[in-house]
Amino acid sequence: MSETEGGKDHRAHVYVSGIVQGVAFRYYAQQKAEELDVSGWVKNLPDGRVEAVFEGDPDRVREIVAWCESGPSSADVEDVTVKDETPEGLTSFEVR
């Protein structure tokens, strides 16, 4: 994982809406996060959105957030809301 000392990591808390459940969005997000060496988690919400947290190198976090704007080819993303937060020092990525 990337360094957390010196504030080098970035954390993005993301909400994705549209047709994003039942299309393997969470599993593709996990695959992309692992490919980019980004930590965090992703889960479905009862209202049909997907919620995710990404932590790691700022450029890689921006890349996965950009990926969320389209998601897997089976998804139809309508909106992505992103809030920057203080990193917690997560060291893995999980589907919740």
Domain count, the chain: 1
Identify the H or E element spanning 49: none
Would you say 82 and 12 are in contact if contact means Cβ atoms under 8 Å apart? Answer: yes
23 within domain boundaries: yes
Q: What value does the CA radius of gyration of the chain take, rounded to a whole number of Å?
A: 12
Tell me which of 44, 60, 62, 96 is the catalytic residue. 44
**How high is the pLDDT of residue 5?**
44
Measure the CA–CA gap between 8 and 28, rounded to whole angstroms: 26
Cα 78–chain centre separation: 16
28 within domain boundaries: yes
Q: In the annotation, is 11 catalytic?
A: no
pTM for the model: 0.91
Would you say 87 and 11 are in contact if contact means Cβ atoms under 8 Å apart? Answer: yes
Tell me which of 11, 26, 49, 60 is the catalytic residue. 26
Q: In the annotation, is 49 catalytic?
A: no
**How high is the pLDDT of residue 8?**
78
70 lies in which domain range? 18-43+57-75
90 within domain boundaries: no
Divide the 96 residues of the chain into consecutive groups of 10 and give the mean pLDDT of each group.
Answer: 58 98 97 98 98 97 98 97 96 96
92 within domain boundaries: no
